[in-house]
Every structure is written in C-alpha cells, then in structure tokens.
Amino acid sequence: MKVLVTGTEGFIAKNLLVRLGELNGFEVVKFSRQTHEEELPTLVQDVEAVIHLAGINRPQSPTEFVTGNTSLTEKLCEALVNTRRSIPVIFSSSTQAIRDNPYGKSKGDAEQALWTYAEQTGASTYIYRLPNVFGKWCKPNYNSAVATFCHNIARGLPISINAPSVALTLVYIDDLVDEFVRVLTEKPPVANGETCTVPTEYVATVGELASTIEIFRDSRNTLTTEQVGTGFLRALYSTYVSYLPPDLFSYTVPKYGDERGVFVEMLKTQDSGQFSFFTAHPGITRGGHYHHTKTEKFLVIKGKARFGFRQILTDETHELFTSGEQPQIVETVPGWSHDITNVGDDEMIVMLWANEIFDRNHPDTYTHSV
C-alpha cells in the first residue's frame, strides 16, 4: 500500500514511519516542511491512503494557524479530488477543534474540508480529535507536559507546575500508531461527520504525572520499581526511560562482600518480590536457614552447586546438584531448611528471586542446620 504521510518531521510521524517500515507491504510518500504545497497533486497521484499529520500549534503569528492547518488541508483535499479516486484520509485533529480559539477553529475548519471531500468522493475520512499524545521522541519544553517532565527530571533540571490538580487525557504513541495501522489495513466503515477515538486513553493530573516520574528517577536508589508491566505505568515508564541521556544509560547498585563471596540486589518490585545474585568461592556454603512464608528461586549461572534440604519437623533430608551448564531452577520450600555449597573448582554465581522484599524487621529467616 502506498501511503502519503504529511508532517513527517513531527513526533507522531517519526513513530509512525518507523512502524510502517517494520511492516511488509507499505510504501511511504513523505510531505514535510521542506515540501512545497504545489507538489501535492503529484504526491497523491497514485497513493492509496493519506495520513495527514502536518499542522501548526505554536505559531509566531495566529494567521499561521490558518495557513498551516486549514489552508494546507484544503489544498490536500483539492489534490485528492482531482485524482478522481476515493482515497481514504486519516487526520490528526485535536480536542481543541470544538473550542472558540484560533487553533481550535483552524482544526475545526480543516475537519470540515475533509468532510466536504468525503461527500464529494465517497472516500472515508477518519478524523481523530487527539488529546495529549505522549511517548518517545516528543519534543520537551514545547507543548507536552509529559515530555518536559521526563526530559527535565531525568537530567536533574527543575520543572514548573502551576496547576497540579488539572486532569489531562492522554494517549500513548504506540497505541495511536497501532490504531492508524489498523485503519489502514482494515478500512473500517465510518460515517461522514463522525470523529474517531483511540481505543485506549488514560487520565492523570499534572501533579500525578510529575510525582510518578520522580518515583521512576528515584527507583535507581531505592531499587524498587513501580508496576510498570502493564497499562499507563508501562507506557509512562517507557517514555521516561526514552529521555535518559546516554551517560545515564547505566547506574551502580550496592555490593556486599565477605570471605564467602558477594551479594548484590538488582531489583525490588511492589508485589512480586525482588531479584539479586550472589557468588561463592569453592567449598563455601551459604544459607542454613528456613522460612515460614518466604519462597525463593535459585538459578546457578556459573559453577557447580549442591543444594541441601532438611524438613525442620521430621528431619527428612534431600540433596540435589545443578550447574551453570544446564540451567535448572531450584525452589526453597517453607518449613525446609536449605543451603547451597559450591562443589566446583571455580567461583559460583547464582541468580536469586524471592517472592517478597527483604524486611530486616521481619526477615522470616531462621537459622537451622541442614
């Protein structure tokens, strides 16, 4: 499918173009700020769809709203009509389109031009009145609170919050791109005059955004991550990390060592325990304790290990051997004391997951020989 994308230097377009490049069957024709409007008739001549992202939202003069939003859209529609084909158009409008301000009026008039085009040609026009779109590659200190907060907080720069309780409706860039690709491929029916929405939207106050991003920053010190695996926190955390400068791509964590080896905590979670690793020199035994509720998973990634177990009531014993050559998870069982011994000739390295964050006041760890 040959697709004309306008506004190719913008935030949304950058993400969209990468996605279309990852998929088979798409050829992109680009219209950017360097492209002359007189080229539109040639550019649309053999395209099968248009994604119209070009627009003005921070002009030097209010008249640029008309030329950059309304007039450009009208010229695009004129070029499409002259092809004598019904070419579908996806348009990134704004929630401001229904408001009585210069920007909103220019977007509303652009919508009207597209609906007129649809009436003339029978083409489908998918008009998305987008709220605040956030994600990687959005320009900070411009018109996105999320981008500004992520950029500044990641760099230790100050942020300014005038109205922390103001709620923002947010759309994540990957969800928006997914929606545009779905429309391109499925061509769902849409009534003329009907606007479209991205299926997933989020709502957060300005203050909540700032405080959450600050927690992301501080997690490098606390080692405790938020629940960033799904939903809004997943999208916001990914966005925050995308603003890290290269010199902050890594960070150190505490290392505790003694004559046995070292112990390093890597990550703690809100409700799924923590991850760490430890080493042991040849002949060294670690452990020799039991838990009532805490459970653990061990993975030897280097060296050879003997795991010993003893049931604290019956004295039943069990042992098993594992090594880094053949990955095998070993679980500790409540009520069984356990230890691990390096039975190889080299340093042993073991990954460890515990189902709860270690609490020095309530360690649930009791010494008991194996």
- Give per-residue pLDDT as tens, 281-298: 999 999 999 999 999 999
Task: Decide if 182 is inside a domain.
Answer: no
Predicted confidence at residue 65, as pLDDT, reads: 83
Confidence of residue 128 (pLDDT cuts 50, 70, 90): very high
User: Domain containing 278: what range?
Assistant: 255-367
Task: Decide if 177 is inside a domain.
Answer: no
pLDDT > 70 in the chain, percent = 100
What are residue 338's phi and psi, to 5 degrees? -150, 155
Provide mean pLDDT across the span 305-315.
98
Residue 285 exposure: Cα atoms within 13 Å on the Cβ side: 11
The per-residue DSSP string of 42-60 comes to HHTTT-SEEEE----SS-S
CATH number of the domain encompassing residue 227 = 3.40.50.720
Among candidate residues 103, 126, 128, 237, the one labeled active-site is 103
The verdict on 41 and 77 lying in the same domain is: yes
Predicted confidence at residue 56, as pLDDT, reads: 81
pLDDT digits (tens, 9 = 90+) for 239-292: 999 999 999 999 999 999 999 999 999 999 999 999 999 999 999 999 999 999
Looking at every residue in the chain, the average pLDDT score rounds to 96
Angle at 149 between CA 147 and CA 154, to 5 degrees: 100
The verdict on 9 and 97 lying in the same domain is: yes
Q: pTM value?
A: 0.93
Active site residue 290: no
β pairing state of 285-290 and 336-342: antiparallel
Per the structure, the count of domains in the chain is 3
Confidence of residue 111 (pLDDT cuts 50, 70, 90): very high
The verdict on 230 and 259 lying in the same domain is: no
Provide mean pLDDT across the span 94-107.
91
The verdict on 10 and 118 lying in the same domain is: yes
The verdict on 55 and 140 lying in the same domain is: no
Task: Decide if 152 is inside a domain.
Answer: yes
Closest CA to 96 of 88, 106, 87, 84: 106
Task: Decide if 183 is inside a domain.
Answer: no
Predicted confidence at residue 37, as pLDDT, reads: 94
β pairing state of 348-354 and 296-302: antiparallel
pLDDT > 90 in the chain, percent = 94
Predicted confidence at residue 318, as pLDDT, reads: 98
Domain boundary among 235, 251, 267: 251
Task: Decide if 184 is inside a domain.
Answer: no
Provide mean pLDDT across the span 296-325.
98
pLDDT digits (tens, 9 = 90+) for 201-236: 999 999 999 999 999 999 999 999 999 999 999 999
Rounded to a whole number of angstroms, the distance between the first and last alpha carbons of the chain is 67
Predicted confidence at residue 67, as pLDDT, reads: 86
The Cα–Cα gap between 258 and 120 comes to 80
Predicted confidence at residue 62, as pLDDT, reads: 80
Confidence of residue 99 (pLDDT cuts 50, 70, 90): very high
Angle at 259 between CA 254 and CA 261, to 5 degrees: 50
